[in-house]
Amino acid sequence: MVIQLSEHFSYKKILRFTFPSIVMMIFTSIYSVVDGLFVSNFAGKTPFAALNLIYPYIMILGTVGLMFGTGGCALVSKIMGEGDREKAHRTFSLIVCASILCGLILTIVGYVSLRPVAILMGAQGEMLEYCVAYGRILIIAMIPFVLQMEFQSFFVAAERPQLGLFITLGAGVTNIVLDAIIVGVLNGGLVGAAIATAISQLVGGIVPLLYFLLPNKSALRMRRPILNIKALGKTCTNGASELMTNISMSLVSMLYNIQLMKFAGEDGVAAYGVLMYVNFVFVAAFIGYSMGSAPIVSYHYGAENHGELKNVLKKSIVIIAIFSAVMITLGEVLAYPLSALFVGYDQTLFELTLRGFRIFSLSFFFAGMAVYGSSFFTALNNGIISATISFLRTLVFQIGAVMLLPLILGIDGIWFSIVVAELMAFVIAILFIVAKRKKYHYW
């Protein structure tokens, strides 16, 4: 049964509606996790560290897809709520075309700049060559990667989240199978892992594009776009928080790697990579829920249905709180087995990873509300507040903490930095939600 944006949402219905988005985001995050798992166990510590060092830069380039997806989804859903379906189709088409053009530009920029960036981050010798080899293959697939991230949001607005889920699952399974064959069986190493990921991104990005180009029964489809600078500007403003979140997270990851190179060398970068894989998956659940529920908020905001807006926010806060409690418990329970799975072949590295894991897991208690708060204001078409929460959470608080705490606590300060930053962002998100309750009538 198709759930429409205009309906009243119970707990069961909102979880059913957002579930495909949650799974989509988790599977998307699993790409780098699967690469890391196979590379670490079949290629060794140096290629594994190289992957973790350069991957944040690839994410900086590709995250423009999230900006177009989340920002465009908020705008298109609002237009649908106002009742103008044809305008929604053409706006959607314009956004997709703009993202393809941006993806092409980023492909050129990324390919040229990859080696200097790797050197700037401290890579040299064999590790530098691994970074360049892995990164350039993924950059060649940048346009499909951008589209994949973008369509994750638009499938929800099109009221076809289940189809988006199936396509993402297909891309994820493709990546896993190819990693197992190319890296595990054929000993393709880091380059093989990059090829597997690039092919899976073709599945995740090009298949949805074909679906929306061809006649379909969804609430959205491609039309001949009409240039509308105002709509593109609104899309970028709405999606600025998600863009800032992911760029900031990647920049901070690069800074963490630089700090870890100073305190623990290659082992520190490898240990941090394991923690980031877990973070990708756990935070992806929060992001997926936020993306899945955002079109509901945008629709009812556009329809001026304040009662349903209030209903969705209250239920979302309860759901996020439960998710947070479950994730912090899982983080502590899984610390040992996951550390052993990734780096159990090296006792020193294993002990470093396990120690960091147990500290880092505390951050999951606060991360969910900060992620949802930013997405909630994006859905309300208030990109400024959304971007402010994201900017503080993923850049200001993290940089301040990772620069200061290691001076006091040593390498433990790096792991505690993430916890402190998420706590501060949690407080900021709550303050904004309380402060703007009368303006948007959601409380």
- The residue-averaged pLDDT of 338-364 equals 86
Confidence at residue 366, expressed as pLDDT on a 0 to 100 scale? 92
**Whole-number pLDDT of residue 195:** 94
Residue 403 Cα to chain centre, angstroms: 24
What's the pLDDT at 55? Answer: 85
pLDDT at 22 over 80: yes
| pLDDT computed for residue 99 by the predictor | 92
Distance linking the first and last C-alpha atoms of the chain: 30
Q: Is the pLDDT of residue 280 over 90?
A: no
Query: According to the model, what pLDDT value does residue 64 have?
Result: 87
pLDDT recorded at residue 76: 84
CA 250 to chain centre: 10
Contacts of 387 (CB under 8 A, 6+ apart): 240, 241, 244, 374
CA distance 16 to 432: 28
Lowest mean pLDDT among 90-94, 219-223, 286-290, 427-431: 219-223
**What are the tokens at 144?**
């499909």
Q: 129-138, 235-244, 342-351: lowest mean pLDDT where?
A: 235-244
Do residues 266 and 345 lie in contact, with contact meaning Cβ atoms separated by under 8 Å? no
Per-domain residue ranges of the chain: 11-440
Cα maximum dimension of the chain: 61
**Helix (H/G/I), strand (E/B), else coil: 83:** coil
8 Å CB contact between 52 and 279: no
Mean pLDDT value across residues 378-400? 84
pLDDT number for residue 2: 65
Which pLDDT tens digit goes with each residue over 108-132? 999 999 999 988 877 888 889 999 9
pLDDT at site 429: 93
154 and 298 Cβ atoms separated by less than 8 Å? no
Evaluate if residue 169 carries a pLDDT over 90.
no
Q: How confident is the model at residue 141 (pLDDT cuts 50, 70, 90)?
A: very high
CA 178 to chain centre: 22
Q: What is the mean pLDDT of residues 396-401?
A: 88
**The pLDDT of residue 39:** 87
pLDDT of the residue at 430: 94
* Cβ burial, residue 162 (10 Å; 0-12/13-18/19+): middle
Phi, psi of 174 (to 5 degrees): -60, -45
Average predicted confidence (pLDDT) for the chain: 86
Burial of 160 (0-12, 13-18, 19+ CB in 10 A): buried
pLDDT at 67 over 70: yes
Residue 253 near residue 56, CB atoms below 8 Å: yes
Confidence of residue 431 (pLDDT cuts 50, 70, 90): very high
